[in-house]
Chain A
């Protein structure tokens, strides 16, 4: 039910104008820049190079490495977030004692500035002053190089991502669980379905649409990660934990290589779009089956 009234323009244009000005127009600018060779330091005049920047990037092993690292962090951390988030949401939805307190306190990490989270993580993971290494030593492990060795550093970043963003998954899935109708479960109880059967045949399929949406949002957001990595490892050791956004920042703001950075950010955009489309294409049949 919609109506027609000239005043609608007055309602929509402020938002439209701001978004066009601030987010579309820079795109026009940077897309044209991405086809040029342009540097600020040392200043070089703009020169049209066609796909030169893109070809350079695609031949640069560092780009592939960085894209791989980002993908690894995004997929593993979102997978863990979903598994933990779903378990916690299921527990909360089945009225564990003290559910009210859990429900509020579980949301806290989401609201902490990622930069602050990374600083806390650095303290907790500190080799000599941090509590985690003391615990590890007490359990008989050697002093672990949490932030200075590639695999441990990646693991630490993933752990921090999981800590911070599982609350979002809990929040969304819990909202989804609460909309499921009770009568299906009553029927299942009459048929003596085991809890596992109920989960597999009722809860999970009915929750699938919201699950797909949550994982999609988290995946796209995870690809943009910079602040946590920036503070925790600075991309190190070497470039082993560098992510796409951090790489673009280094190229753009440290080297002022404008054309190259613009090309990089567009490749990044293409990567995200492709991943999003493939993800949705894979899951579409399942979504339609359970409609």
Chain B
């Protein structure tokens, strides 16, 4: 028994508080669940609370939903699943690689190289667009390639100015998360439209949305996985290095298997983020690759007060994440997640 354990009256007071919060947490979820089993008449007749006592449960809403009378639910569900899984797997993997590199290897470059990148990117775009008269898409591509090449080449030389290291790169990645997504979502929509004019269809496509999600999950993945890799004992890797095992085999053969709990937790957090994401899907899709949040949000304006149908639709978006929460809590109980959220 720890010294911090409450005793006597205080303990019951704390329990009471927790129970109140539990009721607040569960009531809305309970409400949406029972509403999805109500008949239209039962919904309009005013609030009822207990199945079989207050109202007779019926499967109307669910059978309508599953038989496809309520829009393309099956396709949307499939699109959400495919995009969610592939984006979070890719983000976890790419982010883990970057996080590992940032923990174990030394990166050094001058601030000036970064500034060169930004300057060439802006200047190149403006010059391409207004002086040379290229289209917006083409100028963007040229400016990007030129900026990247010059920045990389310039980092080979001994430039003056302050030197940046691993922590600055991590900070740069994580600070991406601070950006209001509307800044990127809107610009990305315009950029994708420009690419569409060049023949690459990115708006309302699998690639377009998945890449956007990978990019916006990477900061959080790198942040979480960096903490995780830092906690790993370095001795195992040093032993492998003595035996001349190449770095890529150390990473794929030793480090990744050792960090499975962290990878799973990070993957799940990323999946929840992608699954529930609204703004990017709103801007970047319109029909074929629309995700569940957009369809569910649309229910509201399309159906007015048909709460039985709306509840069933909302539950389709909720239930997969609840199942995942069950799995996540198992991980938490075994204490595996502690390292990842510290």
Return the contact of A272 from the options B106, B180, B247 (Cβ within 8 A): B180
Instruction: Name the distance in Å between A119's Cβ and chain B's nearest Cβ.
Output: 5
Instruction: Name the distance in Å between B220's Cβ and chain A's nearest Cβ.
Output: 10
Q: How many A-B residue pairs have CB under 8 A?
A: 315
Question: Any chain B CB within 8 A of the CB of A206?
Answer: no
Tell whether, in the assembled complex, residue B182 and residue A224 are in contact, meaning their CB atoms are under 8 Å apart.
Answer: yes
Q: Which of A25-33, A56-64, A149-157 contacts B (4 or more CB under 8 A)?
A: A25-33
Tell whether, in the assembled complex, residue B31 and residue A25 are in contact, meaning their CB atoms are under 8 Å apart.
Answer: no
Instruction: Name the distance in Å between A256's Cβ and chain B's nearest Cβ.
Output: 10
Tell whether, in the assembled complex, residue A119 and residue B296 are in contact, meaning their CB atoms are under 8 Å apart.
Answer: yes
Tell whether, in the assembled complex, residue A115 and residue B25 are in contact, meaning their CB atoms are under 8 Å apart.
Answer: no
| Interchain CA distance A116-B275 in the complex, whole Å | 12
Q: Mark B266-310, 1 if CB is under 8 A from A, else 0.
A: 000000100110110011000000001110110110000101001
Tell whether, in the assembled complex, residue B317 and residue A113 are in contact, meaning their CB atoms are under 8 Å apart.
Answer: yes
Tell whether, in the assembled complex, residue A26 and residue B102 are in contact, meaning their CB atoms are under 8 Å apart.
Answer: no
Return the contact of A93 from the options B4, B126, B140 (Cβ within 8 A): B4
Given contacts A84-B21, A261-B186, contact A19 B176 (CB under 8 A): yes
| Inter-chain contacts of A268 with B (CB < 8 A) | 180, 182-183
Question: Any chain A CB within 8 A of the CB of B341?
Answer: yes
Instruction: Name the distance in Å between A138's Cβ and chain B's nearest Cβ.
Output: 11
| Interchain CA distance A90-B14 in the complex, whole Å | 9
Q: Which of A2, A92, A122, A272 has the most CB of B within 10 A?
A: A2
Tell whether, in the assembled complex, residue B2 and residue A182 are in contact, meaning their CB atoms are under 8 Å apart.
Answer: yes
Given contacts A96-B14, A261-B186, A268-B180, contact A226 B278 (CB under 8 A): yes
Tell whether, in the assembled complex, residue B25 and residue A262 are in contact, meaning their CB atoms are under 8 Å apart.
Answer: no
Question: Any chain A CB within 8 A of the CB of B211?
Answer: yes
Return the contact of A98 from the options B15, B35, B144, B182 (Cβ within 8 A): B15
| Inter-chain contacts of A29 with B (CB < 8 A) | 125, 136, 140, 187, 190-191
Q: Which residue from chain B places its CB closest to the CB of A104 in the assembled complex?
A: B329
Question: Any chain B CB within 8 A of the CB of A185?
Answer: yes
| Inter-chain contacts of A139 with B (CB < 8 A) | none
Question: Any chain A CB within 8 A of the CB of B222?
Answer: yes
Question: Any chain A CB within 8 A of the CB of B178?
Answer: yes
Tell whether, in the assembled complex, residue A114 and residue B24 are in contact, meaning their CB atoms are under 8 Å apart.
Answer: no
Given contacts A108-B325, A172-B341, contact A8 B297 (CB under 8 A): no
**Docked complex: B14-65 residues within 8 A CB-CB of A:** 14-15, 17-18, 21-22, 24-29, 31-32, 35, 43-44, 46-47, 49
| Inter-chain contacts of B341 with A (CB < 8 A) | 171-172, 175
Q: Mark A99-134, 1 if CB is under 8 A from B, else 0.
A: 010111111111111111111111110101111001
Given contacts A19-B173, A102-B18, contact A3 B318 (CB under 8 A): no
Given contacts A30-B190, A108-B25, A119-B300, contact A124 B31 (CB under 8 A): yes
| Interchain CA distance A92-B332 in the complex, whole Å | 15
Instruction: Name the distance in Å between B243's Cβ and chain A's nearest Cβ.
Output: 15
Given contacts A1-B234, A253-B283, contact A113 B173 (CB under 8 A): no
**Interface size band for A:** 35 or more
Tell whether, in the assembled complex, residue B105 and residue A8 are in contact, meaning their CB atoms are under 8 Å apart.
Answer: yes
Question: Any chain A CB within 8 A of the CB of B98?
Answer: yes
Question: Any chain B CB within 8 A of the CB of A72?
Answer: no
| Inter-chain contacts of B248 with A (CB < 8 A) | 7, 10
**Docked complex: B243-262 residues within 8 A CB-CB of A:** 246-248, 251
Tell whether, in the assembled complex, residue A12 and residue B98 are in contact, meaning their CB atoms are under 8 Å apart.
Answer: yes
Tell whether, in the assembled complex, residue A25 and residue B190 are in contact, meaning their CB atoms are under 8 Å apart.
Answer: no
Question: Any chain B CB within 8 A of the CB of A189?
Answer: yes
Tell whether, in the assembled complex, residue B190 and residue A33 are in contact, meaning their CB atoms are under 8 Å apart.
Answer: yes
Return the contact of A269 from the options B25, B100, B180 (Cβ within 8 A): B180
Question: Any chain A CB within 8 A of the CB of B188?
Answer: yes
Additional A-B contacts beyond A2-B104, A27-B183, A220-B178 (20; CB < 8 A): A2-B103, A3-B106, A15-B218, A16-B98, A18-B94, A20-B148, A25-B140, A29-B190, A29-B191, A91-B15, A104-B332, A113-B275, A114-B276, A120-B314, A172-B341, A175-B341, A185-B4, A248-B182, A252-B186, A268-B182
16 contacts between A and B (CB under 8 A): A7-B247, A8-B105, A16-B98, A28-B140, A29-B140, A104-B325, A107-B325, A113-B292, A115-B278, A120-B311, A179-B342, A182-B2, A182-B4, A195-B10, A244-B180, A266-B183
8 closest A-B pairs by CB: A26-B187, A22-B215, A11-B101, A15-B98, A30-B187, A8-B105, A91-B14, A227-B278
